[in-house]
Amino acid sequence: MLLLVGLGNPGKGYEGNRHNFGFMAVDEIIHRHSFMPGRIRFQGVVAEGTIGGEKVLVLKPATYMNLSGQSVGEAMRFFKIPLENVIVFHDELDLPLGKVRVKTGGGHGGNNGLRSIISHVGENFRRVRLGIGHPGEKHLVSGYVLRDFAKAEQPTAEKVIDSIARHIELLLAGDASGFMNKLALDVAPPKGRPATTTKDN
């Protein structure tokens, strides 16, 4: 079993925040791949489904960002999921909006959700880093991540989450490079090639 974790804060007031980009990504995966309806478990919302023949559990911790590791640890222990089968989707200040990078291990980079997960289960899980850009000054970060995407940013954010859901099977199969390449082509296609906009491909 694979565990996909979206990071964000629960509640209507946070839904469109940049800090909830991880929630947005896994919500689209759940929708596109017709997962079972979500249930309250492990201090979060859990949905189960199958992608490419693999059983997949999607978890959205309801603990607020800085306690996400409690929820992730509970789910991992219950299902005996090894750390290498965990993929965490989170917003990334150090990448511009539209850029997505996959990495395994490393620090938390100031992200309190990652910080909490690392403290509970260790650092050697895969991360899907969803660029949101940086406001330019460190003291502006807290307000920036807790604001919604600007109207001009929303089409790019939507392209990112749509492409992730369409190509997630590549990542689950271990082809991180192929996954990132597909996303890059969808979000910023070469000149002369139309962007992919339909959600039915």
Tens digit of each residue's pLDDT (9 = 90 or more) over 159-169:
999 999 999 99
110 found inside a domain:
yes
- pLDDT greater than 50 at residue 201: no
177 found inside a domain:
no
- pLDDT greater than 60 at residue 27: yes
165 found inside a domain:
no
Which pLDDT does position 196 carry in this prediction? 56
Mean pLDDT value of segment 142-163: 96
Domain that holds residue 110: 2-148
Whole-structure pTM value: 0.93
Number of structural domains (the chain) is 1
- pLDDT greater than 90 at residue 199: no
88 found inside a domain:
yes
125 found inside a domain:
yes
47 found inside a domain:
yes
Query: How far is the C-alpha of 36 from the C-alpha of 80, rounded, in Å?
Result: 21
Cβ atoms of 21 and 157 within 8 Å: the answer is: yes
- pLDDT greater than 90 at residue 197: no
168 found inside a domain:
no
Mean pLDDT value of segment 132-159: 95
**Core vs surface per residue 111-143: b (16+ CB within 10 A) or e:** bbbbbbbbebbeeebbbbbbbbbbbeeeeeeee
**189: confidence class by pLDDT, cuts 50, 70, 90:** confident
108 found inside a domain:
yes
**192: confidence class by pLDDT, cuts 50, 70, 90:** low
19 is catalytic: yes
Which amino acid is it at 166? R
Higher pLDDT, 84 or 191: 84
Query: How far is the C-alpha of 108 from the C-alpha of 146, rounded, in Å?
Result: 18
CATH of the domain at 101: 3.40.50.1470
**195: confidence class by pLDDT, cuts 50, 70, 90:** low
Point out the catalytic residue in the list 19, 33, 90, 167.
Answer: 19
Which pLDDT does position 194 carry in this prediction? 58
